[in-house]
Amino acid sequence: MTRSLLLAVLGAASLACGGPLGTPEPTGTIPFEPERPTPGGVTRTPAYTGSDTDVLAAQRTYATGLDLHRKLVLRTCGGTNGVCHNQKEYPDLHTAGTFLAAIGAPCNVQSGNPTGVYDRCERLGDRFRFMEKEFREIEIGYFDLVRGETPKLDPKGARPDAATPGLHLYLHDPVPGAEERMWVTGTFIRSFIEGGEVRTLPFTSYQTNWWVLEDRRHLFAEVNEGQRDTVEGLAASGIVQGDQNRNGVYGARTATPVPLLNPGRPEESYLVARLRGTMKGEPIPGTRMPLANQPPSVQDMLALMCFIQGLDPKAGPWSLESSIDYENCTYSKDPKALSLAGAGASWKGRVLPILQSNCGGCHGGDNPQGGLNLLGTADEVHARLLKPSAQRPTQPLIQPGKPQESYLWLKLSGDGSVLGARMPINPLNGNAALPEDQLNDIQEWILFDAPKD
């Protein structure tokens, strides 16, 4: 293109910008369009026409996804048992932006506790090879850093085992060859997507004596003097483990991964599964999450399910400002079926066994501590808990629906003033708290009106 032609084209373009109808630019005013489209396109769906009171109430409270975030999800971050404070594996849903980003996002597997990871949250692992050896990269299942310096190992003597201090790496396939110990560089490799292209890059490596153990899928790397920092850095580099929960199932290979919020498919959304404790009837690992410090009500669940169901998988990006479509939501036909009451935190199946095994030793027999006997049949103990506390006779041990007015809960949770010690007392070290999942279930049982079954 000649220079003059280029100028002519530019000239035409700038003319076009002057206004298609030749109207002069207004001076002194900023053009403003009141109904500006927001990113993701807001949609308005027709209102619910039925008469179910739960649906009507849900529609009033949670008209849009933004309401759902503000009124349900955000409440989670307050209070003494807020999931944001004590469950590392909980995804970050603090802002409307991160909640929106949870749609279609892989579920979080950054759990401190490997057994808390659900197979269908596992991603394809990083890969491994020895720089000096010719073999195909092998997917990493998981690794274990047994802290400390590796003791001097005799190459001809006893072989290291799973407890030997050093870095243990468990791979999907056996390392080819026959060598059992070699001074080589273990290299960790990851695939990145860059500019639409998949690129493979080694991102960290470690040179030491590597042992090939067992079925050649367990590798052991010695950590020698001066190598501790290197290996700690390696472990902290965020190696993606294909079998993070170490159960032999490589989730990303064997099943479709589930996103946190799965557009159009509430039954296969990890967030919903964590609230229910199950996905499609199968238990999933990890403590159930009581969103907003309390079990979600039928209306809360309905709003969440209809919100997810209303997200058209082909129509992203979505907007939280769109209305939730209760009219076409299949769950509006029978919202009560979404009730989570008794799903896990039952009296006979869960709460009573916790009390009897943790408390019965002191609160049983002829002369129970504090005048409280927690042993007996399920009905006997239940009836006793509805009576006033001995220490604070103005308060019942359990006030159905109200943990904060239940003296037994105050003694257990440590959030409220009580006489005497926090329970259970541990005579050995005074450490007095039940694990978080047990506390959650007891609290949930009280909130669901402490049913007798």
Q: Does 315 bind ligand HEC (CB under 6 A)?
A: no
User: Per CB under 6 A, which of residues 191..250 are in contact with ligand HEC?
Assistant: none
Q: Does 352 bind ligand HEC (CB under 6 A)?
A: no
Compare residues 93 and 408 and give the one whose CB is closer to ligand HEC: 408
Q: Does 424 bind ligand HEC (CB under 6 A)?
A: yes
Q: Does 356 bind ligand HEC (CB under 6 A)?
A: no
Q: Does 266 bind ligand HEC (CB under 6 A)?
A: no
Q: Does 423 bind ligand HEC (CB under 6 A)?
A: yes
Nearest distance from C-beta of residue 336 to ligand HEC, angstroms: 32
Q: Does 372 bind ligand HEC (CB under 6 A)?
A: yes
Nearest distance from C-beta of residue 428 to ligand HEC, angstroms: 9
Compare residues 171 and 434 and give the one whose CB is closer to ligand HEC: 434
Q: Does 411 bind ligand HEC (CB under 6 A)?
A: yes
User: Per CB under 6 A, which of residues 373..402 are in contact with ligand HEC?
Assistant: 389-391, 397
Find the binder of ligand HEC among 308, 359, 381, 398 (CB under 6 A): 359
Compare residues 275 and 434 and give the one whose CB is closer to ligand HEC: 434
Find the binder of ligand HEC among 148, 317, 365, 420 (CB under 6 A): 420
User: Rounded to the nearest 5 degrees, what angle is found at the Cα of 363, between the Cα atoms of 361 and 367?
Assistant: 105
Nearest distance from C-beta of residue 358 to ligand HEC, angstroms: 4
Find the binder of ligand HEC among 421, 435, 436, 452 (CB under 6 A): 421
Nearest distance from C-beta of residue 340 to ligand HEC, angstroms: 24
Q: Does 363 bind ligand HEC (CB under 6 A)?
A: yes
User: Per CB under 6 A, which of residues 128..147 are in contact with ligand HEC?
Assistant: none
The residue ranges that bind ligand HEC (CB under 6 A) are 355, 358-359, 361-363, 369-372, 389-391, 397, 407-408, 411-412, 420-421, 423-425, 427, 434
